[in-house]
Structure 1
Amino acid sequence: MAGPRLRSIGPNAPGSFLLVDCNDDFSNLDGAGRAVAALARQPRAPVYAALLLLILVSWAVLGVMAIELARVSAPDAAGPGAAVLGWLPQVDWPAGLAWFVQLCAQPVEAGAGRAGRFSALAAMWFLMSLAMMLPSAAPMMRTYCEIADTARAGAKAVVHPAVLLAGYLAVWLAAAVGFAGLTVIVSFSSPQAGLAPMRGVAGATALAIAGLYQFSGLKDACLTRCRDPFATLFARWSDQPTAIFRLGLAQGVWCLGCCWALMLVMFAVGIMNPFWMALLAVFALVEKQATGRKFQRVSGAILLVWSGALLVVSLKGGG
């Protein structure tokens, strides 16, 4: 029998071991066992699969929600372009999903149902965050997996990338609660709006904030960190799960710092508008992959012009 292939990674992690022989083919295991062992040794594949699954599930649920909202709402309630969803064939969705959509769409009123609707709104915003932000987080996860693979090849302790992802998602879960609170405030100030686009001064203000933030120093700092995750991930590398979770939190905060103002655009175009969700998801991905500030500045200028145009139109129309 071959010599021992496992060694402890230290007294601070009792019961934790590393594979020393990275070339072992696990021939003593059955097919399923070999597959699991290979995935455990190379964490990149399962993390990418989980990331893709989260994105696909989020978009699927949001798509169904948008279709249902388009059917039960006024033609302009879902925002620009969403009326086409009402043309799709009628489908009987699961009762639980229909209830969830109804809970998100109904007005916020005092009473026992308020907590339930707030929870539904927070879940809705979290799904939107997953769908819109996870694609732009893929480079960060890829970078971590590459560093982890290198460390694992050197028989060093590696924290699974899922821990980093959990920290990142925790930030967006907290942000979803904040956006849900903002949605409730908007609903109280304009009960007829619901998830429909904010009009007049309110919509123009949301766009103006998003546009002005594109020119801010804080946006520059956050975007710089998001564009080059290697420096942060390498400098703060650790074999402790708590440290990697905190690293995920930090990366999530930088990402939130990049994109929180852009999420305000959803209030101006309809919170559940899938076309604008997709557009902003692509925008966030392109912005984080671009270099320099030109893309950032041009997008900020477009948002400010849009804000001004919306304000002028609303004032002329008395809205």
Structure 2
Amino acid sequence: MTTLTPAPARPRRPGAERPVVTVWVAVLVALCWTCLLFRTARMGAMPAALDAPLPPPYRRAELALLFGMWVATVWATMLPATTPSVVLFARVNRLYHAVRRPYLATALFMFGYLFSWTVFGAASTLAQWALHDAGALDNALAVTNSTVAGLALVAAGVYQWTPAKQESLAHCRAPLAFVLTNWRRGPWGAFRMGVTHGRYCVGCCWLLMVLLFAAGLTNLAAAAGLALLAMAEKLAPGGAWIATLGGLALVAWGTLLLFP
């Protein structure tokens, strides 16, 4: 870790990094949503026979597609909420000139963040593989057992109230202290900082993303709703209260499924 000290001033337009980073994120998120729309449309066109109780095991190509869907989903859902953190990292690069190529370091910070979510996507792929082979998923890749779906909703709602959730959310809402006190020089240092920041975000929202097992990985409305909730928690005033109220709503929804 390195303590930052301001570098000699250089003529550079204030705030120049914001539009650049915003375009990066917008393009990447748009690509992810495009992939999801295309893949969902393809799966929707498949014959209804795939709803058989015991579907055939996944082959290597199908596992790769499933992993790609999970990665695209978590990137599209979580990246918009962390845009201010990426902008902040780019701004610190501009003000302190701690690296030779500030935009390269910013890109590596962002992809370090996404790497943490990619690991989550890999774990989710393995879990979905096991559920598929057990015949526990429908054609939308959702768990068919309403009791399991209800328990997932209740667990996600309760987690919203835990200290672990609140601590991770506090980090995501105010990353300035992390950036300034955990600064690491060089491209590899930027990537490592992104991974660490991503771990906090995974700790904040992992159980929300697990709800896609209940809603279905191809349920784009559910993914969009989770993206909006994550943005509200991390960016809106009173995000901690939004998380608490969201948890209450999830517990109530899950209870209705458990006791119809």
TM bin, normalised by shorter chain, reads 0.7 to 0.9
Separation in 2 of the partners of 1:260 and 1:283? 13
TM-aligned CA deviation for residue 258 of structure 1: 0.9
1:72 is paired with a residue whose SS is: coil
Match of 1:240 in 2: 186
Match of 1:53 in 2: 27
Distance 1:276 1:243, change over 3 A: same
Match of 2:241 in 1: 294
Distance 1:61 1:215, change over 3 A: same
Counterpart amino acid of 1:139? P
Higher deviation after alignment, 142-151 or 193-202? 193-202
**Is contact 1:207-1:307 (8 Å) kept?**
yes
**Is contact 1:163-1:245 (8 Å) kept?**
yes
Separation in 1 of the partners of 2:166 and 2:197? 15
**Is contact 1:158-1:239 (8 Å) kept?**
no
Match of 1:270 in 2: 216
Distance 1:311 1:43, change over 3 A: same
TM-aligned CA deviation for residue 45 of structure 1: 4.5
Instruction: Name which of 160, 167, 173 aligns with 2:112.
Output: 167
1:248-267 aligned at under 5 Å gives the runs 248-267=194-213
Counterpart amino acid of 1:240? G
Match of 2:168 in 1: 222
Match of 1:177 in 2: 122
Counterpart amino acid of 1:309? L
TM-aligned CA deviation for residue 298 of structure 1: 1.1
TM-aligned CA deviation for residue 130 of structure 1: 1.2
- TM-score between the two structures when normalised by the length of structure 1: 0.69
TM-aligned CA deviation for residue 224 of structure 1: 0.7
Match of 2:3 in 1: none
Match of 1:139 in 2: 84
TM-aligned CA deviation for residue 310 of structure 1: 1.0
1:278 is paired with a residue whose SS is: helix
Separation in 2 of the partners of 1:223 and 1:236? 18
Structure with more contact order per residue of length (Cα contacts < 8 Å, sep ≥ 6): 2
2:45 is paired with a residue whose SS is: helix
Identical counterparts, % of pairs: 26
Counterpart amino acid of 1:187? H
Counterpart amino acid of 1:69? M
Distance 1:204 1:21, change over 3 A: closer
TM-aligned CA deviation for residue 166 of structure 1: 1.8
TM-aligned CA deviation for residue 194 of structure 1: 4.6
List runs of 5+ in structure 1 lacking aligned partners: 1-18, 25-37, 78-105, 314-319
Distance 1:289 1:45, change over 3 A: closer
| Structure exhibiting the larger radius of gyration computed from Cα positions | 1
TM-aligned CA deviation for residue 251 of structure 1: 0.5
Distance 1:64 1:169, change over 3 A: same
Separation in 2 of the partners of 1:120 and 1:226? 30
1:122 equivalent to 2:61? Answer no
Distance 1:47 1:308, change over 3 A: same
List runs of 5+ in structure 2 lacking aligned partners: 1-6
**Is contact 1:211-1:300 (8 Å) kept?**
yes
Match of 1:231 in 2: 177
TM-aligned CA deviation for residue 201 of structure 1: 1.3
Separation in 1 of the partners of 2:248 and 2:80? 25
**Is contact 2:169-2:240 (8 Å) kept?**
no
- TM-score between the two structures when normalised by the length of structure 2: 0.84
1:284 equivalent to 2:230? Answer yes
TM-aligned CA deviation for residue 191 of structure 1: 4.7
Separation in 1 of the partners of 2:192 and 2:198? 10
1:271 is paired with a residue whose SS is: coil
Distance 1:156 1:273, change over 3 A: closer
Deviations 1:92-143 (A, max 9, x none): xxxxxxxxxxxxxx9451xxx5333222211110000111011011011111
Distance 1:150 1:312, change over 3 A: same
**Is contact 1:219-1:258 (8 Å) kept?**
yes
Counterpart amino acid of 1:161? T
